[in-house]
Amino acid sequence: MNRCRALLRDLAVGLTLLGSGICPAAESESQQAAVTTYGYEVMSQLRFGRENFTQGLEIYDGRLYVSSGLYGASMIRVYDFPSMAEMQSVPIDPRIFAEGLTVIDNRLVVLSWRERVMLVYSLPDLSLLGQSTLPGQGWGATHSGSTLWFSDGSHYLYSANMNDDGTLNRLPVMLEGSPLRNLNELEWVDGEIWANVWQTDEIARIDPDTGRVVGLIDLSGLLPEEDRLRDTDVLNGIAIDPVTQNIWVTGKRWPWLFEITLEKRAD
C-alpha cells in the first residue's frame, strides 16, 4: 500500500470512529482565573470576495482555503496568498451546508452543519476522497499535528487524534467560571485555540489543556460602516500565516481580509 493510500486509510479510520466514545475533561477551579482583554491594530488588509459566506479559513502551502456556507451555494474557494488571485472553486453537494475546514496530513477536512458529515479532499487538486459521520453539528475546525479539533456551537470543543483509535474527547470551555457558548470558527495559534464567538465581535483565546478562556479579543469596529451592505454578516474566520505567524481575520460576506496585531488593555 503506498503512502497516500495508507494515510487516507488512517484518516478514514479516525473519522469513522468519531463519537464512538466521548471522554469528558474534568473542570477545575483554575477556569475561574482572570481573563486578559485585548484590542487590535490593523496592519494591512487584502481584498476578499463578498461571495464568501465564510465558515472556515486556513493558509496552507502558499494558498488561502475558504469554506463558504449556505444550502445550495456551499463552496470551497482557493486563493493564491497573499496575491488573492482565485485559483480554484469547488462546489459542495447542494444538500450540505458547509462549515469549518482545516488541513490534516495534507488532506482538507470540511465540516457540515446539520448533515453531520465530514468531507475529506485531496490536496492540491481538491478531489473528494470520502466522507464520515460526525456525532453532531460541525461549526469550526482546526488542528494541532494530527489532532482534529472542532466546535458545534455549544460551549464544548471536541478533539480526536486521527492516527490512533479515533476516541473523541470533549472539553468544556469556561469564561471566568461560566460556560462560553456559541463557539464557532477555530484556529490553533501558538499553543492556544482561538475561537470566534458567534454573533459577537469577540475572539476567545482558549487553553486546550484546561478549557479556560485566557484572553478575549474585542474586534468591534473592524469592518468600517461604509463596507457594510444589507447582506453583510458576522465576524467569522481566523487564519495564521505559517510563514510570518501573522494573524488574519474576516467575516461572512466581508470584502476584506484584515491582518491584525493585539493590543493588551489595562485591567
Encode pLDDT of 199-210 as tens digits. 999 999 999 999
To which H or E segment does residue 8 belong?
A: helix 3-16
Q: Compute the average pLDDT of residues 184-207.
A: 97
Instruction: Judge if pTM exceeds 0.85.
Output: yes
DSSP assignment of 232-267 equals ---EEEEEE-TTT--EEEEETT-SEEEEEEEEEPP-
Please state, in angstroms and rounded to a whole number, the distance separating the CA atoms of residues 114 and 112.
Answer: 6
Candidate from 9-13, 96-100, 115-119 with smallest mean pLDDT: 9-13
* Average confidence (pLDDT) over 141-157: 96
Q: What SS3 class is residue 13?
A: helix
Domain containing 191 — which CATH number?
Answer: 2.120.10.30
Task: State mean pLDDT over 76-82.
Answer: 97
Q: Contact, 247 vs 259, CB < 8 A? A: yes
Q: Judging by beta carbons within 10 Å of its beta carbon (0-12, 13-18, 19+), is residue 83 exposed, middle or buried?
A: exposed
Strand partners, 216: 37, 204
| pLDDT one-digit tens code per residue, 57-71 | 999 999 999 999 999
Range of the domain at 147: 3-23+32-264
As a whole number of angstroms, the distance between CA 46 and CA 5 comes to 37
Count of structural domains within the chain: 1
pLDDT at 2 over 60: no
Three-class secondary structure of residue 189 per DSSP: strand
